[in-house]
A and B are shown apart, each in its own frame.
Chain A
Amino acid sequence: MRSTVKVGTSTCGLATGAEATFRALQEAVSETGLAVSTQRTGCLGACHREPLVEIVVDGAHVLYGPVTADRARPLLEGHFTLHGAPPPPEDWVVSRTPDRRDYAFFAPQVKVTTANCGVIDPLSLEDYLAAGGYEGLRRALAMSPEAVVAAVTDGRLRGRGGAGYPTGLKWKICRSQPDPLKYLVCNADEGDPGAFMDRTLIEGDPHRVLEGMIIAAHGIGARWGYAYVRAEYPLAVKHLEAAIAQARDAGYLGTDILGSGLDFDVIVKEGAGAFVCGEETALMHSIEGRRGTPRMRPPYPAASGLWGHPTNINNVESYASVPSIMTGGAEWFSSLGTSESGGTKTFALAGAIQRTGLVEVPIGVSLRQVIFDVGGGIRDGHSFKAVQIGGPSGGCLPECLLDTPVDYGPLRATGAIMGSGGMVVVDDTTCMVDLARYFLSFTQDESCGKCIPCRIGTRKMLGILTKITRGEGDTADLDRLQQVAHTIHTTSLCGLGQTAPNPVLTTLRYFRDEYAAHIHDRHCPAGTCTALR
């Protein structure tokens, strides 16, 4: 009998006390003398049931949660029926199948990039290899670089950082540059409020991200890679650095990788706390040791990036998709999504819903499916009001747009954006004016100050919104908001400024009546603006 007890100890698990649970389980195992091994894993995504503990006995899986430390001993005794203990209560059980599809949260999901998260030990290269790791790299190295780029193009992978630029095309442009020294950057400066896709991926399966980067290096001809991880993700940094050290020892990084002649290595660079450093040119300035502010494009990084050399920058999730394209094939990958974009997208599902967490769904499913089928709908008997998608750069969409597919083009058409994957659901207790004000206060605070429309314009918009939430607004304020928003959107230097007005513009478009109520009736319909109570 081979038994394993796995505890999800990613940051999200730790926040709910998974460390104490893990220790309690270890103690209980040694005290009871059970022949089981305890293992740390990443996050399965079901954050609403954490701490999660999975017990695997001879291939039979049972997932429990939440398992707080005090439940550790009864759980073990009950599961293994020691001393005639009763089985664990049924409401502790999340799932009883290896694919966990008997739990509604997992059923509609298709796990590609997060397939190993919460399943393998992220600090174990053996675990990753046993799960088919580095097979994609082997296949890629057997192919010509052009064929690798073509496969990514055929897989219709688009940039998961949010803008959706075709990844294969980006690689091709970078590859075609005559400069022999090329760089690769993995953008893990995830900063949208409520977003934790990149963190979960790196913490739970760091080798997958590395593998994607090495395949990209082969495709592009890059010699050095930087992983730019925000410093607020210490566990992700630790896991990635451990994975890099293991990969070097095993010959997946360094010179003549797997005897293919490919030389490539990765350096981890920690961010210094600026949201704008997620913007690719600011990120490069930060790596170069300069002030993290964006610069004008062109030249695009693919032509002139780090220290003037061609540089390919992709998001964590983009790289994490690449090994699967190599193993599963471009045709399979593209068939997962829509005619516009292939593959899956992870979302950090949060807010007023039953089941929050990290979800991965095929591109093209509707917002309704994500929120109601995966997320289980609104909690506590309240009703759905809006979904905020794409973080502070995104927009707030009302119920009538819930059948919009999660895909780059359709979401853009609504005034929101796909974004990196933040999805915050709000119910009727949230004031949309106040929500817009919150997101604007974020962008205003994170503006680097380089260009005038973003530096001063967001400040002025925030001032007007604050005025309205205090019941001091007038009708002219709405026109003024729209006018300033238009200038900020059109004239700002980088994506931060250009998209900063989106939460305001979409709420003005879909929830104008709430603005009107604040201005004309001096009334906050949701009852959250304290000055109007």
Chain B
Amino acid sequence: MVALTIDGRKVEAGAGSTVLDAALAAGIEIPRLCHHPELTAWGGCRLCLVEVEGQQAPVPSCGLAAAAGMVVITHSEQLEAHRREVLDLLLSDHPLNCVICEKAGACDLQRYAYEFGLSESSHEKEIARKLYQDENAFLVRDHQYCILCTRCVRVCEEIVGASAIEVAQRGFEAFVATPFDAPLVETPCTFCGNCVQVCPTAALVPVDRIGKGREWDLTRTRTVCPYCGTGCGIEVATRGGEIVSVSGYGAPANGEFLCTKGRFGLGFVGHPDRLRRPLIRRDLAYSLGLIDTPPPAALGRSPLGRSPAAGETHVEVDWEIALDLVADRLAAVVKESGPDAFAGIGSALCTNEDNYIFQKLVRGVIGTNNVDLCARV
């Protein structure tokens, strides 16, 4: 631990902390746009500049290691003037479409414009990047909103390891590009969408989120991703019971980030074909006396010319009946042919705990080692 003074307060910082870390931990806010706690410091936005005693020019606090005895000022007339000027410059290169923007309410630039009372740029308006790319099913890249903070580039390289994007060109013409401007599907992009999650503006937006409501209309629920056994914590934003978007929130298993399934793969949750109750075959249900009418004789060769729907081949029953039926049948097989006649395959979509219980059932209750899991490969 090192002790330093920030804005006249004695602050303790852990080893390896930056001045920004130390300030935030002490509840001292410093404006910042390119910083992300999970990514390496970039130092591009110049908003987090602070004054350090003994140094002539302001220093970016995101890249400044906290040192013992350091005396730091995070807010001064000079610093505020520079921050305002930098934001003023940035706003000249940003469409102020906040009234219709998907990101309104969750946009870092909008937040600072509000805090500094900037409704428009005092400079000549000139949007550097006008490219709009929506060639894939997952995310839209609307470059006019990009502020070149490169959080997306860094998350792709440092967290995902895909390095599918990098800044191309330079200066005012610089933009975040794929190799040779190829569509994202032709790059190492895995469509995990972590770039979308870290984007501070509306430059990266999930396709499914567009037009689904303002940020303040959304209800956020923290839950566990149903897609695999890792148990990632996800925060699901919904509106009227419909999923609008999914993001990570800093859960123990996965930290801030998600894979493509957790983020973009939850469409099944509200899908009409989703199984919500146990179903048993109609012929079985009839033979058990659960229904009065027998199933049609030749369903497989249906004159409908289509596959029969679940309601035509199966009937819904309650859990008790379904489980009793399975238990009876299993017991009969084991009695007749021995436990090794049975084999169980678990699913990678189940949690580790569920799969553990499943193998316990197969080994301990049924009495066979014939148990496997599709994720064993």
Chain A residue nearest to B126 (CB atoms) is A459
- Chain B residues 21-72 with CB under 8 Å of chain A are 41-46, 49, 57-58, 60, 63, 65
A201 within 8 A of B: no
User: Quick one: CB contact mask for A427-465 with B, threshold 8 Å, 1 for yes?
Assistant: 000000000000000001111111111011111100100
B92 touches A296 (CB 8 A): no
Q: What is the interface size of chain A, counting residues whose CB is below 8 A from a CB of the partner?
A: 31
- State the majority secondary structure of interface residues on A: helix
The 8 A CB mask of B334-377 against A (1 = contact, 0 = none) is 00000000000000000000000000000000000000000000
Q: A457-B89, A463-B124, A484-B85 are in contact. Are A452 and B44 (CB under 8 A)?
A: yes
A-B contacts, CB under 8 A, total: 93
Residues of A within 8 A of B81 (CB): 487
Contact between B44 and A453 (Cβ–Cβ < 8 Å)? no
Residue A274, interface by CB 8 Å: yes
- A447 partner residues in chain B, CB cutoff 8 A: 170-172
Which single member of A276, A460, A463, A490 contacts B170 (CB below 8 Å)?
A276
* Docked-complex contact A449 and B82, CB < 8 angstroms: no
Is A483's CB within 8 Å of the partner chain B? yes
Question: How many residues of chain B have a CB within 8 Å of chain A?
Answer: 34
Tell me, yes or no, whether B90 is within 8 Å of chain A by CB. Answer: yes
Q: Indicate whether A291 sits within 8 Å of B167 (C-beta atoms), given known contacts A452-B86, A460-B123.
A: yes
Indicate the member of A295, A452, A491 with the most B CB atoms within 10 Å: A452
Task: Say how far B55's CB is from chain A's closest CB, in angstroms.
Answer: 11
| Residue in A444, A453, A456, A458 whose CB lies within 8 Å of B92 | A456
Residue of B nearest to A498 (CB): B57
Which residues from chain A contact B86 at a C-beta distance below 8 Å?
452-453, 487, 491
A residues within 8 A CB of B43?
295-296, 451, 493
Measured CB to CB, the nearest residue on chain B to A294 is B43
Chain B residue nearest to A489 (CB atoms) is B57
B93 lies within 8 A of chain A by Cβ: yes
**B166 interfacial contact with A, CB 8 Å:** yes
User: Is B137 at the interface (CB under 8 A from chain A)?
Assistant: no
Check if A445 sits within 8 Å of B166, measured CB to CB. no
Q: Is B174's beta carbon under 8 Å from chain A? A: yes
Given known contacts A449-B167, A451-B46, is B63 in contact with A296 (CB within 8 Å)?
A: yes
B171 touches A449 (CB 8 A): yes
Q: Does A492 contact B (CB under 8 A)?
A: yes
Q: Which residues of chain B from 129 to 173 have any CB-CB distance to chain A below 8 Å in the complex?
A: 147-148, 150, 166-167, 169-173
Q: Chain B interface secondary structure, helix, strand, loop or mixed? A: loop
Taken together as a complex, chains A and B put the C-alpha atoms of A296 and B171 apart, in Å, by 18
Contact call B57/A455, Cβ cutoff below 8 A:
no
**Measured between alpha carbons, how far is A409 from B89 in the docked complex, in Å?**
33
Q: Chain B residues with Cβ under 8 A from A274's Cβ?
A: 170
Please, how many angstroms separate the alpha-carbon atoms of A449 and B149 in the complex?
A: 10
Chain A residues with CB below 8 A from B58, complex form: 490-491
Q: What CA separation (Å) do A484 and B123 show in the bound complex? A: 10
Complex contact B45–A490 (CB within 8 A): no
Kindly list 20 other residue pairs between chains A and B, CB separation below 8 angstroms, not including A453-B86, A455-B148, A460-B89: A291-B166, A293-B167, A296-B41, A444-B172, A446-B171, A449-B169, A449-B171, A449-B172, A449-B173, A451-B44, A455-B171, A456-B172, A459-B126, A459-B171, A483-B85, A487-B81, A490-B57, A491-B49, A491-B85, A493-B60
- List 6 A-B residue pairs with CB atoms under 8 Å apart, sorted by A's residue number: A295-B43, A444-B171, A450-B44, A451-B46, A456-B123, A491-B49
Chain B positions near chain A (C-beta within 8 angstroms): 41-46, 49, 57-58, 60, 63, 65, 81-82, 85-86, 89-90, 92-93, 123-124, 126, 147-148, 150, 166-167, 169-174
Which 10 residue pairs across A and B have the least CB separation, nearest first? A449-B174, A296-B63, A447-B171, A296-B43, A487-B85, A456-B89, A491-B46, A449-B171, A450-B44, A460-B123
